[in-house]
Amino acid sequence: MQKKSLLRFTTTGSVDDGKSTLLGRLLAETGSIFDDQFAAIEATSKRSGKQEVDLALLLDGLSAEREQGITIDVAYRYFATQKRNFIIADTPGHEQYTRNMVTGASTAELAIILIDASKGVLTQSRRHGFILSLLQVPRLVVAVNKMDLVDFSQEVYEQIVQDYMDFSEKLDIHEIFFIPVSALNGDNVVSPSPNMPWYERETLLHHLENVHVAADKNLVDFRFPVQYVLRPDSTFRGFSGTVVSGKVRCGEEVAVLPSGKKSRIKKIVTHDGDLEETRIEQAVTLQLEDEIDISRGDMIVRPHNLPHASNHFDTHLCWMDEQPMTLTGHYLLKHTTRTVKAYISHIHYTVDVNTLHRQEAATTFTLNDIGRTEIKTAQPLFFDAYRKNRGTGNFILIDPETNRTVAAGMIRGEAISIQDIQKSTQTKKSSNVVWQEGAIPLTKYVERNRHKPAILWFTGLSGAGKSTVAQALLKRLFEENCDVMLLDGDNVRHGLCGDLGFSINDRSENIRRVGEVAKLFYQTGHIVVCTFISPLIQDRTIARSLIEDEQGFYEIYVKCDLDVCIRRDPKGLYSKAISGEISDFTGISSPYEPPEAPEIVIETDLQSVEQSVETIIRHLKDSLFLFS
């Protein structure tokens, strides 16, 4: 027997358009409710003084909903016919509960918008159409309900169709199907209506049973975010999760992100037995042929079909919290199985969903606002554009203090600016120049100085104590007759980097210039002490790569809790950043990426300056960097 397909759909529309009644009618006429359920709503209907059984009570589960006759929460129901299984998300129509509507529509393959025939196309009908378009729900059914109130008028129906078609031309909806119904009486819901002989197309249930949705799934791009590492005993190590998109077979080559390590699928394990091939949305455990260090949040993909990797991306955002968005604090961003620290770095605009006009002067998002933003994260994410892959293109933002979900987002792609384009087209090296080798080889400097050259790169938050420890270390190395010099973050901005600001691009250019200067001193045998916040791993990696012997580069992570740094605030910068006077401030409105494997870690909220210096000196001597 062939397995029945599944359709996830959502219903929405303005308040009192009859969404719950329509779905109650579907459930009742497909035999999807039990006798005791029907008896209960029949009794409730009689107590309310209603002559007919109120089928909406099947969906309105909260007491507040039944009392007010409106949907507040998202109600999920399941039913089946001989052709197909269905999961319904009945979502609120009231503007106050737009966030609930977003939740219900986020996984839908089809949406039904109800329009009251006696009222026509209302603001909320347009609002929900726009949101469904934004969420890339590919199919829309516009059910013109309560046709009995307009005497089943064909003219009224056709005018509503025309009005909504004119509006929908601005939306990104693949297909729209219109149908006139009366949910109260069942006209055109399951059976054709004798009251509307002028309508000759299919009924609502027939459309739901036969609409083709398989093509919507991404069967090409294999994405498997690791949720759990399964080790029941010493003989088995597997990686559990859900296949977000694509598929993979036993024996196929795969790659693991972010490490880039490659292997092949040894086994595909499920509770019901091993498989030869996965399918979308299937929970499986993958066993690889090779031992690779993999943990929760990593992603298994095909090596020649990779997602984007970035910590700075362009998004559409739906704000779902009563507290407005803050640009001076951070949020937690949950994407697939990863949770990372995130910052709203820029607001492009909010959208007036009534007119679809952009509000480009927006400075924050409030409850139910929708718009376009840029977000930076502390670690890179592995994602696809939401339009291409809903599973790896969506995320939520969480308030770290209250643990409330404050926003739902859809990734448009990597954020890019005019400066990015200019930077990518710039010539990296001057033409017609030749590198001049020094007359004195590096080995001679080492023999004279009795120490190897090195770059000691201090990184950490503002106020962590980088400069204080570096100055003390500089003095200690000088007293031990080392040839040492200091490149300080503030000092270089008085001259060498005085033309740069503090945007991500300017910070990267600042680090590039300093790295090149440090390289010149390194090649003449110096110990170069560099003290820079240098918030991005990529920039520090580039600085390290500038010298041939990477063992001569020491990344020193000056670790200090952000709250301690804020309390210290030696330059008064945190207070200005928190108040909004300074933008793009690391730790407040811009991310800091801690080193993944620093050579030295000093914790300045736990260690004194003297202890920190001693830790560094001891490490340098132990690594044979300083001659005894």
Strands 370-383 and 338-352: antiparallel
Scanning the structure block, which residue is given the tokens 């693991």?
256
DSSP codes, 426-463: S-SS-SS--PPPPSS-HHHHHHHHTB--EEEEEE--TT
pLDDT at 75 (0 to 100): 65
Q: What does the DSSP 8-state code read for residue 509?
A: H
Instruction: Give the C-alpha separation, 535 to 293, whole Å.
Output: 26
Cβ atoms < 10 Å from Cβ of 419: 13
pLDDT at 117 (0 to 100): 92
Main-chain dihedrals φ then ψ at residue 132, nearest 5 degrees: -60, -35
Instruction: Give the C-alpha separation, 74 to 10, whole Å.
Output: 10
**Residue 316 is which amino acid?**
H
Over 80: is that where the pLDDT of 576 sits? yes
All structural domains of the chain with their residue ranges: 5-216, 223-301, 308-414, 442-622
Q: Taken in order 189, 193, 198, 201, is the CA torsion positive or negative? A: positive
Instruction: Give the C-alpha separation, 476 to 469, whole Å.
Output: 11
pLDDT at 620 (0 to 100): 85
Strands in 527-531's sheet, in edge-to-edge order, are: 484-488, 527-531, 454-459, 553-559, 600-603
Over 90: is that where the pLDDT of 492 sits? no
Over 80: is that where the pLDDT of 425 sits? no
Give the closest residue to 381 by CA, choosing from 163, 608, 593, 599: 593
Do 311 and 535 form a contact (C-beta atoms < 8 A)? no
pLDDT at 103 (0 to 100): 72
pLDDT at 358 (0 to 100): 86
Record the tokens describing residue 6, joined without a space: 């599944």
pLDDT, average across residues 553-563 = 92
Give the closest residue to 313 by CA, choosing from 411, 424, 406, 384: 411
Q: Which CATH architecture has domain 442-622?
A: 3-Layer(aba) Sandwich (3.40)
* Residue 418 banded pLDDT, cuts 50, 70, 90: low
pLDDT in tens, 162-204: 999 888 887 777 789 999 999 888 899 999 999 999 999 999 9
pLDDT at 264 (0 to 100): 95
Instruction: Give the C-alpha separation, 537 to 502, whole Å.
Output: 16
* Residue 244 banded pLDDT, cuts 50, 70, 90: very high
Output 17 or 608, whichever has higher pLDDT.
Answer: 608
Instruction: Give the C-alpha separation, 319 to 370, whole Å.
Output: 6
Instruction: Give the C-alpha separation, 223 to 300, whole Å.
Output: 6
Over 80: is that where the pLDDT of 479 sits? yes
What is the percentage of the chain residues whose pLDDT exceeds 70? Answer: 86
Instruction: Give the C-alpha separation, 567 to 407, whole Å.
Output: 30
Over 50: is that where the pLDDT of 72 sits? no
**110-119, 422-431, 573-582: lowest mean pLDDT where?**
422-431
Over 70: is that where the pLDDT of 54 sits? no
* Residue 207 banded pLDDT, cuts 50, 70, 90: very high
Beta partners for residue 350, in sequence order: 359, 371
pLDDT at 179 (0 to 100): 95
* Residue 56 banded pLDDT, cuts 50, 70, 90: low
Over 60: is that where the pLDDT of 65 sits? no
pLDDT at 296 (0 to 100): 92
- Let me know if 534 is a catalytic residue: yes
Q: Which CATH architecture has domain 223-301?
A: Beta Barrel (2.40)
pLDDT at 63 (0 to 100): 36
Over 60: is that where the pLDDT of 419 sits? no
| Mean pLDDT rounded to a whole number for the chain | 83
Record the tokens describing residue 334, joined without a space: 């949950």
pLDDT at 456 (0 to 100): 94
- 223-301 shares its CATH topology with 308-414: yes
* Residue 71 banded pLDDT, cuts 50, 70, 90: very low
Peptide bond before residue 258 is cis, with ω within 30 degrees of 0: yes
Q: What 3-state class would DSSP assign to 581?
A: coil
Non-local CB neighbours of 555 within 8 Å, separated by 6+ positions:
457, 459, 540, 544, 595, 598, 599, 600
Do 337 and 365 form a contact (C-beta atoms < 8 A)? no
Instruction: Give the C-alpha separation, 19 to 206, whole Å.
Output: 18
Scanning the structure block, which residue is given the tokens 């042929």?
289
Angle at 155 between CA 151 and CA 161, to 5 degrees: 110
Over 70: is that where the pLDDT of 388 sits? yes
pLDDT in tens, 109-131: 888 999 999 999 887 788 888 88
Instruction: Give the C-alpha separation, 373 to 386, whole Å.
Output: 15
Do 393 and 382 form a contact (C-beta atoms < 8 A)? no
Non-local CB neighbours of 402 within 8 Å, separated by 6+ positions:
none
Active-site choice (20, 125, 508, 534) = 534
Over 90: is that where the pLDDT of 531 sits? yes
Coarse DSSP helix, strand, coil percentages of the chain, rounded to the nearest 5 percent: 30, 30, 40
Do 54 and 48 form a contact (C-beta atoms < 8 A)? yes
pLDDT at 614 (0 to 100): 93
Over 70: is that where the pLDDT of 551 sits? yes
Output 247 or 490, whichever has higher pLDDT.
Answer: 247
* Residue 64 banded pLDDT, cuts 50, 70, 90: very low
pLDDT at 482 (0 to 100): 87
- Residue spans of alpha helices (H) in 4-116: 19-29, 35-47, 63-68, 98-105
* Residue 501 banded pLDDT, cuts 50, 70, 90: confident
Main-chain dihedrals φ then ψ at residue 597, nearest 5 degrees: -145, 70
Do 523 and 552 form a contact (C-beta atoms < 8 A)? no
pLDDT at 509 (0 to 100): 86
Record the tokens describing residue 425, joined without a space: 């087209």
Please give the model's pTM, rounded to 2 decimal places: 0.68
Over 90: is that where the pLDDT of 144 sits? yes
- In whole angstroms, how far apart are CA 11 and each of 26, 170, 322? 12, 21, 24
CATH class held by domain 5-216: alpha beta
Chain mean position to CA 52: 47
Do 248 and 222 form a contact (C-beta atoms < 8 A)? yes
pLDDT at 610 (0 to 100): 94
pLDDT, average across residues 257-281 = 91
Q: Which CATH homologous superfamily contains domain 308-414?
A: Translation factors (2.40.30.10)
**160-164, 419-423, 592-596: lowest mean pLDDT where?**
419-423
Peptide bond before residue 598 is cis, with ω within 30 degrees of 0: no
What is the percentage of the chain residues whose pLDDT exceeds 90? Answer: 37
